[in-house]
């Protein structure tokens, strides 16, 4: 049994506007971050007229790493505050990757800072590196807020270890996630010693104000966008499961109803983070893309039932409450720069592509969808796609393995043959990482510039 949703002509009409490609604010943001880093280094520079000797160098290196770590830590938390400007303009996947990279770097700075400062203190008191442990114990006991800082550092160590690739893969996702949430506590505990023990903050009172401002702002944003906004969203829209439909064996669609869902401003290509308030699913939240244009009273997601969470979706019953956060994601028609668009979907990556296929404005012949799956059985939502292609005059192509398991040829040549003017297309892609990588290379080989290839991937 398959669901058939009527073509979204109405939805398309609403989104008929001039193609005005919006540049991602990523470059500007990176510049601002570097400017802040320079400001932080200047603070140290201004407060340090000279360095007496080698011992002083080590202590000051500890100070610099401490200042940078304190600054970056606020930004690391900010990236995960789900600020719409980041999630929708830069893209949730890209921000998550930045967060992973900057998080690892910042933790390294934290540990370097602890080591260097304690060594520096030991040297200053006429001791040596071997006394560093005792020096650490003494400092934690005697300096203000250092007890808290020690607890925070211990938490950071735990969080850092749990996120090392090899260890993370062995942990169940929910365990890893809850350990990671301790970051908020770790940041809280380590914040105070910066203000009260930090040399540069004692010497420059305005730096204290700036620090409180920075951390205060980040805290406010986290509370607003991660706690208050979802509460308001869910109270306003009251989403519930309407129906659960098995599209093909192993692929399940969930229809979600609610009030005034169009007011959430979701666009085709975006996703929500869903939490189903059913036994066993309450405590985990997973991102799934909308697989059809959002309607005022209905949203649809289509999920491949692998992994313990998605398999459970079959057990959902109409009426069960849904807690959603979003909309997130930057893989929308706003990224478009050309009249012609190629949509490439691999496996369950068809979901956002199916939504875009329905709503991307375009004349007959402008839109093409290439759907790659293992077998024709796995081409989920095919009937709908065919219907949309028919109505819109869009092209629909599929690529499956041959009966003896041979993979289809998706290369620069075959793409150019199918679409001679492919280098004048915008390409939207969604699929497993290996697939996305090889298609990317094929597209580049066929002459599509990198800036016209739009892609979303949550691989870290």
Partner 1 sequence: MHPLKKNRPLRRIVLASAVTASGLVLLLALKPHTTPAIAVAPAPASSNSGTGSGGSSTTGTKTVTGDTAQTQWGPVQVKITVKSGKLTDVTVLQSPSENPRDQEINSYALPELKSEALAAQSASIDTVSGATYTSDGYRQSLQSALDSAGL
| Chain contacts with partner 1 (rule: CB under 8 A) | 41, 44-45, 47-53, 56-57, 59-61, 64-65, 93-94, 97, 101, 105, 109, 120-121, 124-126, 138-139, 141-144, 199, 202-203, 436-437, 440, 450, 453, 455, 457
- By beta-carbon proximity to partner 1, the closer residue of 38 and 185 is 38
Q: Three-state SS string across 255-272, please?
A: EEECCCHHHHCCCCCCEE
- By beta-carbon proximity to partner 1, the closer residue of 55 and 310 is 55
CB of 55 to partner 1, least distance (A): 8
Distance CA 89, CA 332 (A): 10
CB of 122 to partner 1, least distance (A): 10
Q: Which residue has the tokens 């024709």?
A: 376
Using an 8 Å Cβ cutoff, are 225 and 286 in contact?
no
CB of 427 to partner 1, least distance (A): 11
Distance CA 400, CA 371 (A): 8
CB of 53 to partner 1, least distance (A): 7
Q: Which residue has the tokens 């930004």?
A: 75
- By beta-carbon proximity to partner 1, the closer residue of 26 and 214 is 26
- By beta-carbon proximity to partner 1, the closer residue of 223 and 460 is 460
CB of 321 to partner 1, least distance (A): 35
- By beta-carbon proximity to partner 1, the closer residue of 71 and 276 is 71
- By beta-carbon proximity to partner 1, the closer residue of 204 and 234 is 204
- By beta-carbon proximity to partner 1, the closer residue of 65 and 359 is 65
CB of 318 to partner 1, least distance (A): 38
- By beta-carbon proximity to partner 1, the closer residue of 60 and 333 is 60
CB of 36 to partner 1, least distance (A): 15
- By beta-carbon proximity to partner 1, the closer residue of 4 and 142 is 142
CB of 413 to partner 1, least distance (A): 20
CB of 60 to partner 1, least distance (A): 6
Distance CA 218, CA 221 (A): 5
CB of 32 to partner 1, least distance (A): 18
Q: Which residues have C-beta within 8 Å of that of residue 281, sequence separation ≥ 6? A: 275, 309, 312
- By beta-carbon proximity to partner 1, the closer residue of 57 and 416 is 57
């Amino acid at each position: 049994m398959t669901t058939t949703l009527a073509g979204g002509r109405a939805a398309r009409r609403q989104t008929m506007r001039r193609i005005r490609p919006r540049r991602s604010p990523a470059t500007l943001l990176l510049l601002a971050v570097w400017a802040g880093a320079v400001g932080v280094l200047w603070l140290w520079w201004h407060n340090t007229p000279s360095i007496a000797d080698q011992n002083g160098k080590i202590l000051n290196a500890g100070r610099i790493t401490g200042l940078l770590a304190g600054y970056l830590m606020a930004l690391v938390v900010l990236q995960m505050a789900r600020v719409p400007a980041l999630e929708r303009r830069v893209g949730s996947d890209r921000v998550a990757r930045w967060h992973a990279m900057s998080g690892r770097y910042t933790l390294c700075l934290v540990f370097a800072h602890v080591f260097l400062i304690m060594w520096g203190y030991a040297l200053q008191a006429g001791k040596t590196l071997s006394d560093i442990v005792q020096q650490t114990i003494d400092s934690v006991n005697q300096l203000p807020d250092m007890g808290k800082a020690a607890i925070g550092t211990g938490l950071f160590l735990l969080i850092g270890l749990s996120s090392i690739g090899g260890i993370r893969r062995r942990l169940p996702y929910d365990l890893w996630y809850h350990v990671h949430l301790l970051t908020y506590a770790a940041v809280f505990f380590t914040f105070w010693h910066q203000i009260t023990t930090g040399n540069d903050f004692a010497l420059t009172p305005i730096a204290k104000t700036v620090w409180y401002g920075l951390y205060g702002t980040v805290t406010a944003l986290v509370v607003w966008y991660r706690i208050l906004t979802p509460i308001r969203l869910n109270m306003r829209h009251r989403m519930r499961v309407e129906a659960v439909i098995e599209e093909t064996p192993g692929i399940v669609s969930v229809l979600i109803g609610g009030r005034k869902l169009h007011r959430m401003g979701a666009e085709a290509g975006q996703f929500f983070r869903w939490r189903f308030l059913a036994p066993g699913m309450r405590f985990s939240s997973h991102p799934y893309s909308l697989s059809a244009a959002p309607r005022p009273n209905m949203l649809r997601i289509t999920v491949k039932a692998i992994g313990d969470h998605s398999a459970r979706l079959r057990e959902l019953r109409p009426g069960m409450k849904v807690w959603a956060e979003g909309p997130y994601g930057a893989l929308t028609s706003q990224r478009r720069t050309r009249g012609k668009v190629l949509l490439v979907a691999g496996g369950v990556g068809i979901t956002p592509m199916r939504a875009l296929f329905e709503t991307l404005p375009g004349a007959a012949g402008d839109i093409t969808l290439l759907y790659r799956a293992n077998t024709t059985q796995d081409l989920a939502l095919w009937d709908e796609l065919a219907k949309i292609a028919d109505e819109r005059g869009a092209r629909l192509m599929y690529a499956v393995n041959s009966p003896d398991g041979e993979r289809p040829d998706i290369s620069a040549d075959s793409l150019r043959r199918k679409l001679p003017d492919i280098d004048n297309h915008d390409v939207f892609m969604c699929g497993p990482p290996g697939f996305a990588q090889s298609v990317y290379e094929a597209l580049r080989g066929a002459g599509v510039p990198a800036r016209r290839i739009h892609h979303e991937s949550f691989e870290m």
